[in-house]
Amino acid sequence: MARHTSGSEATSAVSRGARWSAYRPVLNGVIGGVATAGLAVVLYLGRQQAQGFEDGCSVGSLDAAPTFDCAAAASSPASTLLGVSNV
């Protein structure tokens, strides 16, 4: 048996759907930027891990002393999520 909806209910349902289907360039740009930055970090750490973190965490050869042990962080249990490597 079909239920009859009044005009206001139908309009309300349409406006709720339109709210989520609207194009939002700023939000799309932010989401795209965060996704691109995350991809760059994963690729960088993957490359560093393949090299055995011989330069530490730094980009290139910086003279500063390493302050964080990237090799230990990449091999710790925190480097996996649901059994899949984060790096």
Give me the DSSP letters along 3-57: PP--HHHHHHHHHHHHHHHS--HHHHHHHHHHHHHHHHHHHHHHHHHHTTTTTTT
**pLDDT given for residue 84 in this prediction:** 79
Tell me which of 69 and 18 has the higher pLDDT.
69
**pLDDT given for residue 59 in this prediction:** 62
Rounded Cα distance between 21 and 3, Å, is 26
Can you give the pTM of this predicted structure? 0.56
Q: What are the pLDDT digits (tens) for 20-67?
A: 677 889 999 999 999 999 899 888 888 888 888 777 676 655 555 666
